[in-house]
Amino acid sequence: MAGTDQEAVRNKQVALKHYVSGFPKESDMSVVTSSISLKIPQGSKDTVLLKNIFLSCDPYMRGRMNKSDSPFFVAPFQPDPPLNGYGVAKVVDSTHPNYEKGDLVWGFTGWEEYSLVTCPELLIKIQHTDVPLSYYTGILGMPGMTAYAGFYEVCSPKKGEYVYVSAASGAVGQLVGQFAKLVGCYLVGSAGRKKRYFLEGIDIYFENVGGKMVDAVLLNMRLRGRIAVCGMISQYNLEKPEGVHNLMQVVGKRIRMEGFLAGDYYHLYSKYLDMILPFIKEGKMKYVEDVAEGIESAPAALVGLFSGKNVGKQLVVVHGK
């Protein structure tokens, strides 16, 4: 059915006011109000209209606030609102054969109350609803696949190895720490600027922080250690990244350092769910979330990632289910 004016509703959106250098501030973004029809416009094929439930605040989004020429792996945000990112949503209208009204999905959506998505192939339908739906922004979403791919696939952990996770209270780090324990590894974690001790050395380092942390870790790596480079949150707001001085350590210790993106591993998603869902239901995996209420709180929640304000996965509730 074609949209008509009487079905238009308010649609608050988060906009980036300008490209950012240095630490992002809440005032770099604004919340603007537009309207949207709750019916897909006539003639729009293969489109879904989403009511956004949860939005995910992720560190990689900082890179998209740079105009360009960044060391990041994603395109800058567009000047027109809204920002976009991962989220959980309910389908309220669909002209795509794979989706129907009422379906729950997670994937890329807009930072707004409702989103018209013209490329729904990138959305994943949620099959398991007997777990908190917000988990699809974290343990059951992109951060979950990041931790799983980086730890199991990139690092090939073995029982008894020493695992160090930086940013161990973050969306990804808290999972790597629990995975390490499941495998029977010894775990050393750190969060923020706390002093770290590596009495026994490190076999596996899950890198979320960058800069001086890398130098400290390299000195403490053991023979044939592996470093999965997931991200470097301490560097994202610097004009020039800090220098890493101890790279020569990789030669004598035969260290392997490998960057990865969760996106390369989504073919393993159903395998991951088979592993993780029972652990969640049995209480063997915990997942800490930091929940901001309402789309107006989204800019502050996103900015908070870079001052370490969040404890656990930072997300924003936009709508109740």
**Which residues of this chain interact with a copy of itself, rule CB under 8 A?**
71-74, 210, 214, 229-232, 235, 240-261, 264
What's the closest the beta carbon of residue 168 comes to a copy of itself, in angstroms?
Answer: 19
Least distance to a copy of itself from the beta carbon of 258, Å? 4
User: d(Cα 114, Cα 89) in Å, to the nearest integer?
Assistant: 9
Q: Shortest approach of a copy of itself to residue 212 CB, angstroms?
A: 10
For the bound state, the minimum distance from the C-beta of residue 67 to a copy of itself, rounded and expressed in Å, comes to 17
Give residue 50's identity as a one-letter amino acid code.
L
Cα three-residue angle 99-319-84, rounded to 5 degrees: 70
Closer CB to a copy of itself, residue 4 or residue 73? Answer: 73
Q: Which residues contact 221 (CB under 8 A, 6 or more apart)?
A: 201, 202, 203, 205, 227, 249, 253, 255
For residues 214 and 317, which CB has a smaller minimum distance to a copy of itself in the complex?
Answer: 214
41 token code pair: 């416009």
| Nearer residue to a copy of itself within complex by CB, 92 or 219 | 219
> Taking the complex as a whole, how short is the minimal distance between the CB of residue 209 and a copy of itself, in angstroms?
11
DSSP state of 142: H
Are 244 and 222 spatial neighbours (Cβ–Cβ below 8 Å)? Answer: no
CA–CA separation, 83 vs 76, rounded Å?
10
Nearest to 176, CA basis, from 130, 222, 226: 226
71/192 with CB nearer a copy of itself = 71
- Residues for the chain: how many in total? 321
Cβ nearer to a copy of itself, comparing 74 with 311: 74
Q: Which is nearer to a copy of itself, 46 or 242 (CB)?
A: 242
- β-bridge partners, 13: 32, 112
For the CB of residue 230, give the shortest distance to a copy of itself in the complex, in Å. 7
